[in-house]
Amino acid sequence: MNKAKRTEIFSRLREANPNPTTELNYSNPFELLIAVILSAQATDVGVNKATAKLFPVANTPESILALGVEGLKSYIKTIGLFNSKAENVIKTCRMLIEKHDGEVPDNRKDLEALPGVGRKTANVVLNTAFGQPAMAVDTHIFRVSNRTGIAPGKNVLEVEQRLMRLVPKEFLMDAHHWLILHGRYTCVARKPRCGACIIEDLCEFKEKNDYQ
Ligand code: SF4
């Protein structure tokens, strides 16, 4: 795919949704970090339901740590993998207090050192909480990048690095939100809705359909 096409694709995605953001509910970097840790292999809707009860009671490293693993589990038990997530969140809270004065670090190295925080989670926090250009490549971004030809790659890291190199600068900050939302609602896994897709004429997917 050439640069002009990529620019046009992101121009249209931006026009349709000028201020995209995550669908996870949060009100500060710490809440976002916890929500993203909880969201691995779970839906944003499911995480939002749990955090709507958790955050009014505990939304600081100190207060979540005070809940303890079992106390925290009672709030997040509707979320997949809640046992290991509870352990990780408690360990992360402890580490934030001991090493970062209770603050969420704004750099990749320190973020990835937190239990339960991988490259994708770090990218979401860097981008969404701290306004740094970063691509948190999930299953949706991976699929859309490959199908459309925007940034094809064999694995998520390859797609992430290509996107960082190929997405025009003016779109870098918000690109990952546009791609996630496009993958979640239009370019869905089984039957992409090419008939309703605003970038259909630019997309290089060989098996387009008419589904709306
Ligand atoms: S045309 Fe189809 S395959 Fe291409 S981006 Fe749109 S929905 Fe996805």
* Ligand 1 atom index nearest CA of 203: 4
DSSP string, 183-212: HHHTS-SSS--GGG-TTTTT---TT-----
Q: What is the largest CA-CA distance in the chain?
A: 55
Catalytic positions are 120, 138
pTM, entire model: 0.88
**Cα dihedral 59, 64, 65, 67 sign:** positive
Q: How far, in Å, CA of 149 to CA of 83, rounded?
A: 38
**Under a CB-based contact definition with an 8 Å cutoff, are residues 85 and 38 in contact?**
yes
Give the Å distance between the CA of 189 and the centre of ligand 1: 10
* Ligand 1 atom index nearest CA of 197: 6
Map out the domains of the chain with their CATH numbers: 3-20+135-196 (1.10.1670.10), 29-129 (1.10.340.30)
Q: How would you write the pLDDT of the chain (212 residues) with one tens digit per residue?
A: 999 999 999 999 999 999 998 899 999 999 999 999 999 989 999 999 999 999 999 999 999 999 999 999 999 999 999 999 999 999 999 999 999 999 999 999 999 999 999 999 999 999 999 999 999 899 999 999 999 999 999 999 999 999 999 999 999 999 999 999 999 999 999 999 999 999 999 999 999 999 99
Question: Which of 194, 206, 207, 209 maximizes ligand 1 atoms within 8 Å of its Cβ, making it the mutation to test the pocket?
Answer: 194
Give the Å distance between the CA of 46 and the centre of ligand 1: 27
Give the Å distance between the CA of 30 and the centre of ligand 1: 35
